[in-house]
Amino acid sequence: MHVAVTERLIIRRLNTDDAPFILRLVNELSWLRHIGDKGVRTVGDAERYILNGPVMMYADMGFGLYLVTLKEQHEPIGICGLIKREALENVDLGFAFAADYWGKGYAYESAAATLAHGKTEFGLRTIVAIVATDNAACGRDPSSACGRPDWPPINPIPYHSPARDGHCSRHLPQRA
């Protein structure tokens, strides 16, 4: 099921056919450093990760993490989606991309489409994002997190993952 189609990307629900890509993504050094080790070591582990995470959230909430693929090549490049975490009052925008696809605007493009999806399909008015302050890809200046100086400044929230310290959150603009 396609969630959104942008100029360059297709954003769709994950399924177990995506397990080989998820296995690679969750074991990239950047994922391990900024998100954490999910214990996914085999394609079977990746299938269980998909079923017990995104697919379960689709059933419970109607949304979850989505696969992001290049529109023309149908090549998976990352994930982006909406997550309801017990520790957060609001829904969280999360994304991760394979390192080969950083710096090309795919995170922003998929985030904007996902935010619009959250607003139009689920009526979400406030969506937050967790940003590791030591993530070089997100920049050292909190006001320009993830390379988007046009997004509002980051506001600290009381959420900490065992994978990292110094998280921040910000209200992201809703894009129609």
Rounded Cα distance, 154 and 171, in Å: 8
Query: What pLDDT shows up at residue 54?
Result: 97
Output the average pLDDT for the chain: 80
Per-residue pLDDT at 133 exceeds 80: no
CATH number of the 2-128 domain: 3.40.630.30
Q: What is the pLDDT of residues 85-126, one digit of tens each?
A: 988 888 889 999 999 999 999 999 999 999 999 999 999 888
How far apart are alpha carbons 97 and 118 in whole angstroms?
Answer: 20
Residue 138 banded pLDDT, cuts 50, 70, 90: low
**Is 35 within 8 Å of 22 (Cβ atoms)?**
no
Highest mean pLDDT among 59-63, 145-149, 150-154: 59-63
Question: Per residue in 160-172, pLDDT tens?
Answer: 334 433 333 444 4
Question: For the chain, what are the domain ranges?
Answer: 2-128
Could you report the per-residue pLDDT of 26-37, keeping only the tens digit for each? Answer: 999 989 988 889
Instruction: Tell me: pLDDT of 144 over 90.
Output: no
> Model confidence over 32-67: pLDDT tens digits?
988 889 999 999 999 999 999 999 999 999 999 999
Q: How far is CA 83 from CA 73, 90, 121, 146, in A?
A: 27, 9, 15, 19
Alpha-carbon torsion (34, 27, 1, 53), positive or negative:
negative
Q: CA–CA separation, 121 vs 149, rounded Å?
A: 27
Of 14, 20, 1, the C-alpha closest to 50 is: 14
Q: What is the pLDDT of residue 55?
A: 98
Q: pLDDT at position 110, please?
A: 94
Q: Which amino acid is at 134?
A: D
Judged against a pLDDT cut of 90, whether residue 140 lies above it is answered with: no
Question: Does the pLDDT value for residue 159 go beyond 80?
Answer: no
Question: Scanning the structure block, which residue is given the tokens 């360059």?
Answer: 8
Mean pLDDT (whole number) for 4-24:
98
| Predicted model pTM | 0.79
